[in-house]
Amino acid sequence: MNGNRSGHSVKASMGVYERAQRVIPGVTQLLSRRPTRAALGVSPIYADRAKGCRIWDIDGNEYVDWMSGVGPIILGYADEVVDNAVKEQMDRGGINSIVHESAVDLAETLVRLIPSAEMVRYAKGGGEACTVAVRIARGVTNRDKVLFCGYHGWHDWYLAANLGGERLDDHLFNGIEPIGVPSGLEGTAIPFAYGDLDRLGELLSEHEGQVGCIIMEPMRTELPPEGYLEGVRELATKHGVVLIFDEVSCGFRISLGGVQEVTGVIPDMSVFAKAISNGYPMAAVVGKREVMEPAARMFISSAYWDDPIGIVAALTTLRELERRDAVSHFEVIGASFSERINRAAADAGLDAECVGVAAHPGIRFHVDNPETGKKVSTLFIQENAKRGLILSTGFFFNCAHDEAALEHTESALRESFAVIKDGLDNERVDQLLECDMQEDLFRRMVR
């Protein structure tokens, strides 16, 4: 790996980007993969291939990647065990007219691993699975309103929160217009702030008898404050509301049984996707029998949800996570990653640090002015890309992250931090930016 990327260019990526702008509205399907959300003109846009924890772009640049596909890659790119299982399944056929036994095997595996799981339904994406969970909860309680905390996908039920006000600001990012979301849904999705049990209690009382479910990300980079999730559980039970943990983002890295296994707080339903299948589309809604069983009578149905490819990928991924003791690996890699970042920042005299649990931390730059903060974050992505790193302030570990990746990252970061320090001390961050300003970051609850 070439540590000095002075000859770094993404010319080929930019050429394809030009073409994409003419034929794909928004350029990518996932907002977080939009080139305008990285360092446009410097960050890679189009991948040629990926293996382990590395990506090669179509300009021939090699990167150590810390984004892990924005979450789904948990064993590493092109993992041979999962890919061989998938190839074998492909040879025996994918979707067909009847179902495959592996669907039951996976359900039984999830029931074994996840404390709240007694029954299981499948979907293909995280947002879709959250929508299934919300539908089931509304169906079971015969109530329409949803209290939520965090990010849960692009669907109408969730974006309805912004009808009549920008209520998603603290959960996603500012200024989302709920274009195309039926206005009749106004008032059906109500956010609550993470950690504030009193407010949640007030909301449940204000909307007594109308709230079908509470759906929340149980944690992100920090473990929940003591007693918080227990308090949410108590309130949900008291008000007869279904409690759903959305573990799409945090699932499987902290513990194979989810945050619920770590905290001992058992929701009625939980949603898992992304890391469940190492990059093959797959999602699961799991829950207690009394909540899940009524789903059999609800119209919740889709052709691809029985797809044995995603199911076999998930079964194999979960088996490999156990066999490789992935959770311990994330602890070890995470601890070393945080230590190296903190040391490099301190040596550069920069007020920056790694925060959160070892297995899933984030990087924080302590910059007073929010505008400057955004610029620093863009400069960070830019300088990392030039040095063969795909790394922003939020990231996900995978099992292929190793000592060599850590070594490269620390030495690249030392140089990136020196540039940022120079920019801040000499008030020339603008001058140092070689790219357009990064568009608003996904601002999600940090805990």
Tell me the three-class secondary structure of 76-142, residue by residue. Answer: CECCHHHHHHHHHHHHCCCCCCCCCCHHHHHHHHHHHHCCCCCEEEEECCHHHHHHHHHHHHHHHHC
3-state secondary structure of 322: helix
Residue 217 as a binder of ligand PLP (CB under 6 A): the answer is: yes
Nearer to ligand PLP, 189 or 350 (CB): 189
Phi (first) and psi of residue 51, to 5 degrees: -150, 135
Residue 194 as a binder of ligand PLP (CB under 6 A): the answer is: no
Of the listed pieces 148-156, 257-265, 286-294, 432-440, which binds ligand PLP according to CB under 6 A?
148-156
Of the listed pieces 126-134, 260-268, 333-341, 359-367, which binds ligand PLP according to CB under 6 A?
126-134
Residue 392 as a binder of ligand PLP (CB under 6 A): the answer is: no
The dihedral sign for the CA sequence 162, 166, 172, 173: positive
Contact residue for ligand PLP among 69, 127, 139, 279 (CB under 6 A):
127
Residue 191 as a binder of ligand PLP (CB under 6 A): the answer is: no
For the chain, the C-alpha Rg in angstroms (whole number) is: 22
Contact residue for ligand PLP among 5, 37, 143, 152 (CB under 6 A):
152
Place of tokens 């359900």: 107
**CA 419 to CA 428: how far, in whole Å?**
10
Residue 258 as a binder of ligand PLP (CB under 6 A): the answer is: no
Contact residue for ligand PLP among 52, 115, 150, 258 (CB under 6 A):
150
Phi (first) and psi of residue 271, to 5 degrees: -120, 130
Residue 362 as a binder of ligand PLP (CB under 6 A): the answer is: no
Contact residue for ligand PLP among 68, 116, 249, 384 (CB under 6 A):
249
Residue 273 as a binder of ligand PLP (CB under 6 A): the answer is: yes
**CA 143 to CA 132: how far, in whole Å?**
15
**CA nearest neighbour of 204 among 146, 256, 259, 244:** 146
Nearer to ligand PLP, 360 or 401 (CB): 360
Contact residue for ligand PLP among 63, 77, 151, 194 (CB under 6 A):
151
Residues that bind ligand PLP (CB under 6 A): 125-127, 130, 150-153, 217, 246, 248-249, 273
